[in-house]
Structure 1
């Protein structure tokens, strides 16, 4: 089988990583890249450096990776769908639900593979966590708490922290628990003088009854990417920076010290940090999308799933503005 001809539009901070992976991905040939602002990281190499999605399509593509600013996802994605080109679109899918729906409908109507680059799904710690939850290792899931905070990334200008960062936690929470969001309550803040929010604290409920909380900001010198899932048998802690997964089991040994026994709801049991393979999440994401384009079995984040994540993100913003719980 001939290699798939791939293109890349958007050569910023994320685009350079896509170029690196596409340039070494088995079964794929990166034939051209495009960005009207040029190639600041020098990723084009000997490939044509183009300026528009139309020029990129004319190079003859099987699929394209879209890493342009969020506000351009709709127009670039629709151009690719109209040209019959499969697309992997960076997260979030689009700047709002309406634009997301336009993309979902265009790719479905054209019979094309469309996916969203929610890279956290492919983090080894979360891949292992989902498999263990599905196998019943935790029993009933009670709560998911995420913390995603760090310094402001200069790459972001057109959306706030909810659509840029919190969408990671929205998607991964729904995915690892296999439960959709049913209600959202959130508070946001503007502390850096920018148009968009730079802090959000949200509490949510999933249709399976699980309660979630998400703390996300661009205001901390401490970089954290942590997911804690608490349930019937203990708690899993996933650190997606190190791709470590740890399990804290509820204890099976009775606590005989009465004062402590009355204070603790459960006792402390064994702690296990799993030894798991740690392939690069971005490469795994690309491998799955390549396989989907080839018609093979794969696990991609569909455009419909990406649209639902945007819907929850917009519910967070609406809740913060109205001071009410938004039902989904």
Structure 2
């Protein structure tokens, strides 16, 4: 199959070599106005290697199998992949098109049509990053890591990244916030299909348990981010009510168990004051009774002192 595809590509693709036969004047005019793309090559797939530093790290197996089936039916890929030549290894490193490369290996293609480019590190990363972001199925965490690399390694400001990707600055900030997710939350995202909006919502929580709860709820069928926010609001209100009830109970309990050891009273004109000091701590709930008993005992003692 690989040889058949290579022969077809060599015969039918103008970017591989200029036409050698001109059937009529029209074909001569077309040939005169076009030039072959010298950087296009049919390359042995064994000499092509993925770039370990490219932003995209995960590829959906089901999607790869679907692409492989299409490649098998067409006996090859439609669009060439983009590579760069690594001289010291005499091999080619993929700039863009790793998904097509993987699917081609699955169906046993021996050669691939490639566009060979000379790029520096900055341009290579930008080409890979933008090519990956144009795909809707890129993982949000990989998108966040790629933006972070643009900001930290290549000194891009968030506003510049937003213009480059045709996104708002707030979108860039929200995606970068995904890197706050703890490992338990990341594990859920890796193993479950979670909407990006739910991942962003979870990243706003600092508690790993709350991040996990939001993502688990988002993984349930039919749960939208609006429903999640509503449910979280109800849970928070219930929690707050529970806390308030506990505080009231604690305050009540405190008042019931509060102790005192002395009591002082004086009239509004402050002409005198009455003080009672107990030799041991007394229960606050019995304060009035204890003071009444003490005063009565004091008055009775005074009466006894007056008696002859």
Q: Which has the higher contact order (CA 8 A, sep 6+)?
A: 1
Structure with greater strand percent? 1
Which structure is larger by alpha-carbon Rg, 1 or 2?
2
Q: Is the TM-score greater than 0.5?
A: no
TM-score by length of 2: 0.23
Higher helix share: 2
TM-score relative to the length of structure 1:
0.22
